[in-house]
Amino acid sequence: MLQAMAASALAGADAKANPAALEFGPPQPFSHDALKERAKALAAQPYDPPPRPNPDIVQKLDYDAHGKLRFRYDYALWGDGGGAYPVTFQHVGKYFPKTVRMYAVSNGEAREILYRPEYFTIPPTSPAAALPKDASAFAGLWVMEARDGPDWKLLEPWVTFLGASYFRAVGELGQVGMSARGAAITPGGPGPEEFPDFIAHWIEPAATDDDPVILHSLLDSPSLAGAYRFALHRTKGVVMDIEADLHPRASIERLGIAPLTSMFWYSQTAKPTAIDWRPAVHDSDGLALWTRAGEHIWRPLNNPPRTTLSSFLDENPRGFGLLQRDRIFDHYQDGVKYEKRPSTWVEPLDDWGQGAVQLLEFPTDDEIHDNIVASWVPKTPTTAGQHLSFTYRLYWLADEPFPSPLARVVATRLGRGGQPGQPRPKGVRKFLIEFEGAPLRDLPYGVKPEPVVTASRGTFGPYQFTEPVPDDVPGHWRTQFDLIVEGQDPVELRCYLKLNEKTLSETWAYQYYPF
C-alpha cells in the first residue's frame, strides 16, 4: 500500500489535473552504494561549485525578504500521502545562495523535484520575482511533523538541512538551537575556512510515525567529496543514525568528523559588567566527554579573548557533545527560550581509532554568531586519495543519553581571591565549583569529599575547602580554592571529588584566562 501511495505521489505531476502538485523529472535507478561510487568519482575530478542563480538578485534576499518566501504547504512532498512526514523546501537567499538538487526516492528509483516559483509565496515586489522562471532555486529542506498528528502546517519542522552542510533538529524540550555539520575542514586555521556543501539530497519516506525518514546526501568542496546516509528518527527529541563515506581531493590539516556548532556569548560564570541586561546568553554551556577509559569530563565553555583550540586526546571515544545543562529560566530571562535549547551528543558506532575531540572557541560580542565548534579529529593525517568512513548516532535531547552515575558539575563561579574583610591580593582568582549527584547524597554524616585539583601553571592559595551548599538539596556540594597566577596565558584546571580512593564526581576541566 505504501509503495502504491508513494508512486502515486511521484506520478502526480500534471499541473492541469492538480495545480498544487510538485513536478518531477524522469525516474532513474538509485541506491546508496551507487551514491558512494558517485562521491568517489567526484573526488577524482576537479571541483565544480554548485550553481548559483543570479547572484545580484539573490544578494538582495536578506533576512526579511527571504522570510517572505514561504513554501506553499499544498506542494509539500508527501503532504497528502505516501509518507508519514511531509517535506517542504527552502528558497535560496543572501545567506543560502547555493542551490541544492532534490530527489524523491521510491522502490529503488529517484525522480528529481523540479523547482517552480509557484511553490513559494513570492510577493511581486520581492527580488525573487526577477529570477528566471526556469532557474533552480532550492537551498534546503524541512522535515515536518507527522501528517496524522496535530496539524503539521501549524508546527515547526523537526529537522532542517539548510546552508553548506549544516543541519539541526528540535530537541526534547521542543526547541531548536545549535547545529551539526557534515564535515569541518580546518576550522580556525590561518586562512579562510572551507565549508563543504550538500549539493543534492535523495529523500525516502517513512512508512509510519515510528519509522525513520531516510536522507541520502552528496557532499562536495574543493578538498573533499562524500556520501552520507541519515536515518532520521522522531523520538522524544530526534535521533539520527549517520553513515559518512569520505574521499579527500587534497590534504586537509584538520578534518573535523561529526562537527557540532553552537553559540556561547557569556554565562553567569564570568559575565562582563553591564554587557547586556540578561544574566546569561548561550545555546550551549559546556562540552561533555565520555572517554574510552570511562572518564566523564565537563568542560564549561568560554568566550575567549582570542581564538582557542583545545584537544582532548583519546582512542575510540565513547561519546562527546555540546550540552545545555542550565535549564532555569531566571538565568536567561529571555523569551527565545535558551533554557530549552537541545543538548546534542555524538555516539561513535564503529572504530574511530586514535585522535582527539577538539574544541574551538572564537571570541564574539553578540549572540548572532556561532562561535563554538566541537568535532572528532583523527590522528592520522588526511591526504588526497584516501577513503574514510565513519558511522555514528546523533542525539538531540535535553541531556546526554548516557549520563554519568557520578555527581555532575552544576555551576562554575569565579570571584576575587582572598578572604572577606581582608585586602584582596592582585593576581589571585577564587574558583567555586558546585557538584550534585547520588554519590554525594550517600555520604555518611560528617564525612566530607576530598577535592583533587590540578593546574597547568600557578599555585594554589591557602583558602581551600569543601562544604554542602546550604540550600537543603541532598547531594549538593561545592568546593572552593584560590589560584595565584601571573601573566595573561591561559591556565588549564581540573578538579574532581573523591572519598579515599573512590571517585565521586565527573571531572571539571576549565580553561582560565587571567584578567
- 251 and 131 within one domain: yes
- 271 and 419 within one domain: no
Q: Is residue 367 part of a domain?
A: yes
Q: What is the mean pLDDT of residues 314-325?
A: 98
Would the pLDDT of 14 be above 80? no
Would the pLDDT of 246 be above 70? yes
Q: What is the mean pLDDT of residues 408-435?
A: 90
The pLDDT, as a whole number, for residue 9 is: 40
Q: Is residue 491 part of a domain?
A: yes
Q: Is residue 119 part of a domain?
A: yes
- 448 and 386 within one domain: no
> The CATH number of the domain where 118 resides is what?
2.70.98.10
The pLDDT, as a whole number, for residue 16 is: 36
Please, which pLDDT band fits residue 423 given cuts at 50, 70 and 90?
confident
Q: Is residue 323 part of a domain?
A: yes
Last residue of a domain, one of 357, 378, 397: 397
Would the pLDDT of 307 be above 60? yes
- Cα–Cα distance for residue pair 262/245, rounded to 1 Å: 25
Task: Give the residues across from 217 on adjacent strands.
Answer: 201, 228
Would the pLDDT of 160 be above 90? yes
Please, which pLDDT band fits residue 12 given cuts at 50, 70 and 90?
very low
Last residue of a domain, one of 397, 419, 451: 397
Is residue 29 packed enough to be buried (19+ CB in 10 Å), middle (13-18) or exposed (0-12)? Answer: exposed
- 474 and 432 within one domain: yes
The pLDDT, as a whole number, for residue 17 is: 37
Domain limits for position 478: 408-512
- Cα–Cα distance for residue pair 62/44, rounded to 1 Å: 36
Question: What is the chain's mean pLDDT, rounded?
Answer: 94
Q: Is residue 85 part of a domain?
A: yes
Q: Is residue 86 part of a domain?
A: yes
Would the pLDDT of 8 be above 60? no
The pLDDT, as a whole number, for residue 462 is: 86
- 201 and 144 within one domain: yes
Q: What is the mean pLDDT of residues 381-402?
A: 97
- Cα–Cα distance for residue pair 150/147, rounded to 1 Å: 8
- DSSP letter for 487, please: S
Proportion of the chain above pLDDT 70, given as a percent? 96
CB 264 within 8 A of CB 374: no
Please, which pLDDT band fits residue 71 given cuts at 50, 70 and 90?
very high
The pLDDT, as a whole number, for residue 19 is: 56
- Cα–Cα distance for residue pair 30/41, rounded to 1 Å: 16
Last residue of a domain, one of 351, 368, 397: 397
- 197 and 123 within one domain: yes
Single pTM value for the model: 0.94
Residues 6+ apart with CB under 8 A from 104: 9, 10, 22, 24, 77, 110, 111, 113, 202, 203
The pLDDT, as a whole number, for residue 7 is: 41
- 363 and 291 within one domain: yes
- Summarize pLDDT for 19-37 with one digit per residue, the tens: 579 999 999 999 999 999 9
Would the pLDDT of 369 be above 90? yes
What is the number of other CB atoms lying within 10 angstroms of the CB of residue 156? 13
Least confident of 2-16, 189-203, 355-369, 382-396: 2-16
Q: What is the mean pLDDT of residues 134-140?
A: 91
Q: What is the mean pLDDT of residues 395-408?
A: 97
Question: What three-state secondary structure class fits 36?
Answer: helix
Please, which pLDDT band fits residue 418 given cuts at 50, 70 and 90?
confident
Please, which pLDDT band fits residue 515 given cuts at 50, 70 and 90?
confident
- Dihedral angle at the C-alpha atoms of 18, 23, 27, 31, nearest 10 degrees? -110
Q: How many domains does the chain have?
A: 2
- Choice between 142 and 421, residue whose per-residue pLDDT is larger: 142
- 246 and 180 within one domain: yes
Q: Which residue has the cell 512508512?
A: 207
The pLDDT, as a whole number, for residue 422 is: 78
- 309 and 338 within one domain: yes
CB 215 within 8 A of CB 203: yes
- Summarize pLDDT for 252-290 with one digit per residue, the tens: 999 999 999 999 999 989 888 889 999 999 999 999 999
Proportion of the chain above pLDDT 90, given as a percent? 89
Q: Is residue 210 part of a domain?
A: yes
- 508 and 388 within one domain: no
Question: What three-state secondary structure class fits 72?
Answer: coil
Q: Is residue 132 part of a domain?
A: yes
- 297 and 419 within one domain: no
- Summarize pLDDT for 76-92 with one digit per residue, the tens: 999 999 999 999 999 99
- 331 and 206 within one domain: yes
Would the pLDDT of 156 be above 60? yes
Would the pLDDT of 13 be above 70? no
> The CATH number of the domain where 454 resides is what?
2.60.40.10
- Summarize pLDDT for 325-362 with one digit per residue, the tens: 999 999 999 999 999 999 999 999 999 999 999 999 99
The pLDDT, as a whole number, for residue 3 is: 41
- Cα–Cα distance for residue pair 496/352, rounded to 1 Å: 28
